[in-house]
Chains A and B, each alone.
Chain A
Amino acid sequence: MKIYSRLKRVLEKGHFAVTAECGPPKGADPKVIRSKGKILKGFVDSVNVTDNQTGVVRLSSLAACVLLKKEGLDPVLQMTTRDRNRIALQSDILGAAALGIRNVLCLSGDHQSFGNQPQAKGVFDIDSVQLIHIFRQMRDTGVILGGDKLSVPPDVFIGAVANPFADPFDFRVVRLGKKTTAGAEFIQTQCIYNLKRFDEWMKKVRDLGLHKKVYILGGITPLKSARMAEYMSNNVAGMDVPDEMIRRMKSVPAGEQRKEGLKIAAETIQALKDIEGVHGIHIMAIEWEEAVPQLVETAGLLPRP
């Protein structure tokens, strides 16, 4: 029985896709992944598993993807270039494909100085653009970097990330174009709070015709509290949380802030549905996976195709 990428099918059929994110535990505990999978099943098309996010050691993305696969979900394997060289990365994608994982997201990764292993050597043998290109060649041409032939190419739907809110603003779309040329087939963006700025970015995307070449999923992270909004605004690089949003969260009593955060998220999703060139959403509710089902439902995105 052939295994296919559910995400790819949903997008190719023209549906508004929904993906979510699952953070692995800081331990050799399969139960956590399984229970998160159970929460998300049926509410999303695919589930990303982060790869030692912010340089903090966690259960590996590849292993977690296999666990999710066993629960009947369609996982997206996130791979950074921070921790592995080209030998390991090419090897891992062959392994992932052999284990039935059909989606991969290529990133450079957060710098190791942020995590709990700041003395580690950040590998960065190749960057995310080169990684996309290598995987595309492996799949479509059946060769690895250097030209050696693969007995069986890896069957994977290849994705990348985009951050419309980082600098330099004008260049962000050029970089998206580069990733697309390198072979990216879907894009998940950084979480969106500043719709105006996102709109401007999408206009530039459309001007270059990129929305026709790559599927773009807008990132959504529901705010849990006003403090979270402030923290993200001040401490996370490449994040744009407008002051009005922080004020809106603060205007609500602490006990009601989660509800307000979900309300904002649902409003953002509605707005994204109306932007030409946005093909879906990617919900990153880290350590709040329980919020995903109700958010998807409120946004009118059920049932999934």
Chain B
Amino acid sequence: MITAERKPLPEIKEMIAPYRKVLLVGCGSCVAECASGGEKEVGLLASALRIDAKMHGHIIDIKEITLDRQCVYEFIDQLTGIAGQFDAILSLGCGAGVQALADTFPGIIILPALNTTFIGQTKDAGLWIENCRACGDCKLSYFAAVCPITRCAKGLFNGPCGGSQNGKCEVDADVPCAWQLIIERLEKTGRLELLQNIYQPVDWSRQLGKGPRKIHREDQSA
């Protein structure tokens, strides 16, 4: 899923300072999973902002709502008729959600309460790890499902580099060396010969080519 973390409160306070009526909008998908923007977190942030306002004698009216998904027009539609009642919307969605809201309500001020971080997995309760960089040209079949672009700090396709030691990356002793993992997994699944291949340079244009990417499926349109 997409992970995110709440921005520091001083930053959020500064963003909403000019506004009297603010709607906090959460999202029940990815950000709920990583405990940063779901219904609970909306409640916590709203409470904190109200307490803070009382402490400083500010008048602010904070309301809360959580959508199932903030990046899909059908769910965003639930806010039609409501959004306009507020001076600003503080979105606890990921960057996709914040922008989807703004696309739908271009006349309303939409602000991000979160810093969107990465695509990753929930490895354990409270532990999220990045594992995909959305390169658009998945080669996980060659690398025993360990992504070298994401999990190797240098993005090597013919690794490991000379800094790999005791299965750890030279960059950080807590980061496993992706290439050590690839080699171990290929060995475990009887595919070590894949390592003999000299993998060619990545086609970065599939990820970083001409601005924001798009997918259009005619068969899916109404």
Contacts and interface: CB of A to CB of B under 8 A. Distances in A.
B184 to A, nearest CB: 8
Given A126-B201, A167-B167, A175 B156 contact: no
Given A111-B154, A124-B155, A171-B183, A166 B198 contact: no
Grouping DSSP codes into helix (H, G, I), strand (E, B) and loop, the B interface class, with mixed when no group exceeds half, is loop
Contacts of A130: 157-158, 198-201
A127 B162 contact: no
Interface in B69-108: none
Contacts of B155: 124, 127
Contacts of B166: 167
Given A124-B155, A178-B198, A181-B198, A166 B160 contact: yes
Bin the interface of chain B by size.
20 to 34
B198 A129 contact: yes
Given A113-B171, A122-B154, A145-B201, A127 B165 contact: no
A127 B163 contact: no
Given A82-B154, A86-B201, A124-B156, A174 B195 contact: yes
Contacts, number: 94
Contact of B170 (A161, A162, A190, A237): A237
Contact of B165 (A86, A129, A238): A238
A163 interface: yes
Interface of B: 153-167, 170-171, 177, 180, 183-184, 195-196, 198-202, 204
16 contacts: A86-B201, A111-B153, A124-B155, A125-B204, A127-B155, A127-B156, A127-B157, A130-B198, A130-B201, A145-B201, A162-B162, A163-B162, A167-B180, A177-B196, A178-B196, A238-B165
